[in-house]
Amino acid sequence: MIDLRSDTLTRPTAGMRQAMAGAEVGDDVYAEDPGLNALQQRVAGLLGHEAGLFTPSGSMANLLGIWALVQPGQEVVCDVRAHIARAEMGAHAALHGITMRTWDSADGLTDAATIGALITPDAGPYLVSTAAVSIENTHNFGGGTVWPMHDLLQISALCRDAGVGLHLDGARLWNAHVATRVPLAEYGRLFDTVSVCFSKGLGAPVGSMLVGSAQVIERARVQRKRLGGGMRQAGILAAAADYALDHQLDRLEDDYLAARAFASALAETAPWAIDVSTGPQTNIVVLDTGARAAVEVVAEARAAGVLLTAVGPRTARAVTHLDVTRDECAAAGRIAGEVLSRS
């Protein structure tokens, strides 16, 4: 089986396990885990922010980041396919009383003019006020797309001028950074809060982080405990994240090359399923299943030895990662292409 369902499937490497086994630990609810404290400083610094807070999942990092910017009864504006809108089980509404409005797009990206026309800061007594905008970079269901820097600069200025908060769901910001070589802090500084995941392409088994101002992170620490996200000897996980940043960040380039190999092999038999002139930009390939239901295509690909995910009625997703080789991805692309060209 060539498993391309997600880059969350990666298992810790031997070196990572060794680093975890040797971690010095303390109780992080008392803020006494030395490795975790150092990791929070390290990642905040990398992203150009004052402070960081380790979380068990990226969903919790997003939940806390948006909570810090939006009051109950206010809204966050995001893309129609955003992870916060589709994949976090309504948590922002269910737990924090936050509503969402979305812009439509095919690839998860938009421009400052669209966001400017959508937001309603201080909307008064009859309409919902927009308190934050959330951007996802890279964009997962948009096909691993990378935001152009000039759009981010304009959106950041727009939100600052409007007094609207700006959150970055940077679960795969690492992949955007490796694709563009834009320094992480140059991205980070444009946002009030940023979430990142260590458990995706970086290959750590567990863990994400929220960064922001010292004040935001102090408040988020209390809310994390309230949500049951206070962990104890989490330095074992911090050691995995540190190891990932030291040894498994630059190799995200390999995942991009593997995604290209998958896409070109697929395009040879089913050229209509993917536009290889525009993508993939990183490690995610979203393919159009044409006249066939995505779930059917996914089931037939599984029978032929390739695991994909249906992400829409007529769209399926392949994600490359640490535990699959470029040759395996090319083979998977050929198999997926054959399945797609059956009528």
Shortest gap between Cβ of 11 and ligand PLP (angstroms)? Answer: 16
Q: Which stretch binds ligand PLP (CB under 6 A): 51-59, 67-75, 289-297, 327-335?
A: 51-59
Q: Within 185-204, which residues bind ligand PLP (CB under 6 A)? A: 197, 199-200
* Contact status: 171 vs ligand PLP (CB under 6 A): yes
String of b and e for 278-303 (b: at least 16 CB within 10 Å)?
Answer: ebbbbbbbbbbbeebebeebbebbee
Query: Considering beta carbons, is residue 91 or 324 the nearer one to ligand PLP?
Result: 91
Which position's Cβ is nearest ligand PLP?
58
Distance from CA of residue 54 to its chain's centroid?
A: 15
Shortest gap between Cβ of 220 and ligand PLP (angstroms)? Answer: 16
* Contact status: 136 vs ligand PLP (CB under 6 A): yes
175 and 255 in contact (C-beta within 8 Å)?
yes
* Contact status: 59 vs ligand PLP (CB under 6 A): yes
* Contact status: 110 vs ligand PLP (CB under 6 A): no
* Contact status: 7 vs ligand PLP (CB under 6 A): no
Site mask for ligand PLP (CB under 6 A), range 206-225, x = bound? --x-----------------
Nearest to 282, CA basis, from 196, 200, 163:
200
Query: Considering beta carbons, is residue 244 or 339 the nearer one to ligand PLP?
Result: 244
Contacts of 18 (CB under 8 A, 6+ apart): none
Nearest to 224, CA basis, from 53, 48, 42, 35:
53
- Name the DSSP class of 248: S
CA distances from 106 to 81, 90, 255, 331 (A): 9, 22, 23, 27
Shortest gap between Cβ of 265 and ligand PLP (angstroms)? Answer: 24
* Interface residue list for ligand PLP (CB under 6 A): 57-59, 62, 83, 136, 140, 169, 171, 197, 199-200, 208
